[in-house]
Amino acid sequence: MGVVAPVSGVGAVLVPVVVGVLTGERPGALVWIGVLLALPAIWLVSREPATDAPPGTGSGILDGVLAGLGFGTLFAALAQIPAEAGFLPLALNQLIAGGAIILVALALHQDWVPRNRYALGGALSGALGALATGLFQVATHHGYLTVAAVITSLYPAFTVLLAATVLREHVHRTQAVGLALCAGAVVLVAAG
């Protein structure tokens, strides 16, 4: 995870930035400095301190690259949805995803109706994910894909801050540097 998270976080920024530039976006100099600052920020804040990996575990680079390409492609595709479509494509996405879950559960002869107390957390997580996706789409309709993708990809900073404040987890030195860079990137992107 210490490799997958930072590699996927950086990849999730690079794909939409490239797509944004190829589709004609031309952010100002401050935004570009913020984007460049965000790349090491995401890497540092996502990175776990080095530990001895159990035998037989890979480095995770391929998994991180594939996850980053997946997230980046999703961000770039969401930005291509015309504003006139509203939230219909996202609603269809949720409907299809729910249908796929039901089909897989039935194929595996599993109950597709959640019956334990943890199901509410999953439902809440799904609702928050759908809300986040919708807000990302709104952001790309009112601004640059490049900017929306960079700000969105700084989410590991919020995870680290929540873990530190709510769970009292220790913020490692590299994560602290990453948090400072994240703050700088947000300020520069917002000022630009």
Give me 139's structure tokens.
């952001």
Mean residue pLDDT of the chain comes to: 84
Within 10 Å of residue 75's Cβ, how many Cβ atoms?
25
Give me 72's structure tokens.
């980046």
> For residues 44 and 175, what is the distance between their CA atoms, to the nearest angstrom?
5
- pLDDT tens by residue, 1-48: 556 767 777 888 888 888 988 999 888 888 889 888 888 888 888 777
CA 127 to mean position of chain CA atoms: 16
Q: How confident is the model at residue 174 (pLDDT cuts 50, 70, 90)?
A: confident
- pLDDT tens by residue, 68-83: 899 889 889 989 999 9
- Enter the DSSP assignment of 85: G
Per the structure, the count of domains in the chain is 1
Q: Domain range for residue 145?
A: 4-51+58-191
Question: What's the average model confidence in pLDDT over 108-128?
Answer: 85
Question: What's the average model confidence in pLDDT over 134-142?
Answer: 91
Q: How confident is the model at residue 51 (pLDDT cuts 50, 70, 90)?
A: low
User: Cβ distance 20 to 143 under 8 Å?
Assistant: no
Model pTM score: 0.72
| H-helix segments, the chain | 4-22, 29-46, 61-79, 88-107, 119-142, 145-152, 155-166, 173-191
Q: How confident is the model at residue 59 (pLDDT cuts 50, 70, 90)?
A: low
> For residues 19 and 21, what is the distance between their CA atoms, to the nearest angstrom?
5
Give me 36's structure tokens.
């460049």
> For residues 6 and 109, what is the distance between their CA atoms, to the nearest angstrom?
37
Task: Give the up-direction half-sphere exposure of residue 117: CA atoms within 13 A in the CB hemisphere.
Answer: 0
Nearest to 9 by CA among 176, 178, 166, 187: 178
Q: What is the pLDDT of residue 120?
A: 84
